[in-house]
Amino acid sequence: MVARLLPLVGQQTRSHGTRRRPLAGAAGPGTHWREPEEVALAARRLPRWSELRPLLRPERVPLDPVERRLSHAHTVADLRAIAARRAPRAVFDYADGAAEQEISLCRARRSFARAEFHPQVLRDVSAADTGVTVFGRPWPVPFALAPTGFTRMMHHEGERAVVRAAQRAGVTFTLSTMGTTSIEQVAQEAPAARRWFQLYLWRDRAAGKDLVERARAAGYEALVLTVDTAVAGARMRDVRNGLTIPPALTPATVLDAALHPAWWVNLLTTEPLTFANMHEWHGTVADLVNTMFDPSVTFADIEWLRGLWPGPLLLKGICTVADARAAVDHGADGIIVSTHGGRQLDRAAAPLEVLPAIVDAVGDRAEVLLDTGIMNGGDVVAALALGAKACLVGRAFLYGLMAGGERGVDRAIAILTGEIARTLQLLGARGTGELNPAHVSLR
Ligand SMILES: Cc1cc2nc3c(=O)[nH]c(=O)nc-3n(C[C@H](O)[C@H](O)[C@H](O)COP(=O)(O)O)c2cc1C
């Protein structure tokens, strides 16, 4: 038998033997002494083939390139890393970036890191119900997909891919006014999907009214009016990248095409990339917002909209108790505490931190939802414990879309859902309904 006894002892130990040693810098009166170090001895031998064989498990490498790519994505952050490689720089930055110094986004993400969970143990958590009820309807998971403009820029299948994935998972999909697939096309693509429509109020009120009527006719369940976009936020990454809609062919973008050929081939060989619910636009997003959007909108317009829309009406972008009260007083059924993913006002308060006071003020009269900065299912659980009915996620599914199209969105939804279920179980909650403020505090 090939067996030797090797003393696994370091130089220092050998020279000191088993003598007691003072801790570094702690000599003198009150010195602390360590216990004598043990001399570890391990018997070594050559392994037998019969022992090695069961350990050899060759990894199955998927042949499909999308599947292969997504097999490396275990978190939303992994999807983000893949997206950063797959999409042209200006496209990735459009989704990933925020306004000015990006303080609002950082602050929102940091607030989730501040959330400190207080688990309750020895509960039977063999099953965890991730479902919630929003406006009287059951949702299988406590999050919806937020409205995102220009989604076909992220991936040529855009909203079609996203709404199909949403339908499969039973997740509510919100179509943006700035969407690149029309209200009707999205409805046709996924007729069974739970769909909301997001509206911006334009200077041209008749055009806004037309969109609301089309959304109603096409079976959208709720109307989300975004109210934090009086003027365009200054998204410095877009300014520096010279991003225009549609992307212009400049020497820089042509060079980029060499680095991301698949994205450019898809862009140039599928239907032209334009806004589906508004007139064609050639220029920057900021110029578009400042030209079309109406900065004179007030709470009086909410009453006008209320008269047009019989279903649930939510205001998105509310961040103070006073505005939450005013929104509900003027007819809103729900509010989304949100800083627009940090893409509008910089230095805004973190939604998670203002949430409890807003829930206290209007939670008995309206559904309170939250978004901005969610990268993990634990973030969603923290928001629910602090009183949110549900959350919206934006970038999380866009990273999936950029990383792997429709299957990437499936992956993002599955990752968040798994994280939510696991967090509930480790918190000792059998379902979202058992969450309460005792489960979380903000450090
Ligand atoms: C690329 C992108 C486009 C967006 N477009 C819109 C939009 O058209 N309308 C809107 O109300 N919000 C829009 N938002 C904001 C989202 O609806 C949501 O508030 C935000 O993404 C939430 O933050 P998160 O991305 O960190 O989850 C957009 C966000 C992103 C990232």
Q: Could you read off the pLDDT of 155-195 as tens digits, one per residue?
A: 999 999 999 999 999 999 999 999 999 999 999 999 999 99
28 pLDDT higher than 80:
no
- What pLDDT band is residue 34 in, cutting at 50, 70 and 90? low
Q: What is the mean pLDDT of residues 380-389?
A: 98
Whole-model pTM? Answer: 0.90
Given this model, what pLDDT does residue 380 score? 99
| CA of 344 relative to ligand 1 center, distance in Å | 10
9 pLDDT higher than 50:
no
User: Which residues have C-beta within 8 Å of that of residue 203, sequence separation ≥ 6?
Assistant: 292, 293, 294
Question: What is the best residue among 319, 340, 379, 380 to mutate for testing ligand 1's pocket, by most ligand atoms within 8 Å of CB?
Answer: 340
Given this model, what pLDDT does residue 36 score? 56
130 pLDDT higher than 50:
yes
249 pLDDT higher than 90:
no
Q: What is the mean pLDDT of residues 94-114?
A: 98
Atom of ligand 1 nearest to the CA of 373: 26
Question: What is the best residue among 80, 110, 202, 343 to mutate for testing ligand 1's pocket, by most ligand atoms within 8 Å of CB?
Answer: 343
Minimal-distance CA residue to ligand 1 atom 31:
95
What lines the ligand 1 site, CB under 6 Å? 94-95, 146-149, 176, 178, 198, 226, 316, 338, 340-341, 343, 371-374, 392-396, 398
Atom of ligand 1 nearest to the CA of 176: 8
User: Which residues have C-beta within 8 Å of that of residue 197, sequence separation ≥ 6?
Assistant: 174, 175, 177, 183, 211, 212, 215, 220, 222, 223, 224
116 pLDDT higher than 80:
yes
- Please confirm, yes or no, whether 340 is among the known catalytic residues: yes
Catalytic residue among 155, 156, 330, 340: 340
Please report, rounded to a whole number, the percentage of residues in the chain having pLDDT higher than 90: 76
| Two structure tokens written together for 219 | 């079976």
| CA of 13 relative to ligand 1 center, distance in Å | 59
Given this model, what pLDDT does residue 305 score? 96
Which residue in 162, 209, 219, 141 sits closest to 187, CA to CA? Answer: 219
What is the Cα–Cα distance from 17 to 38, expressed in whole angstroms? 10
Please report, rounded to a whole number, the percentage of residues in the chain having pLDDT higher than 70: 91
What is the Cα–Cα distance from 440 to 435, expressed in whole angstroms? 9
**Amino acid, single-letter form, for residue 109:** R
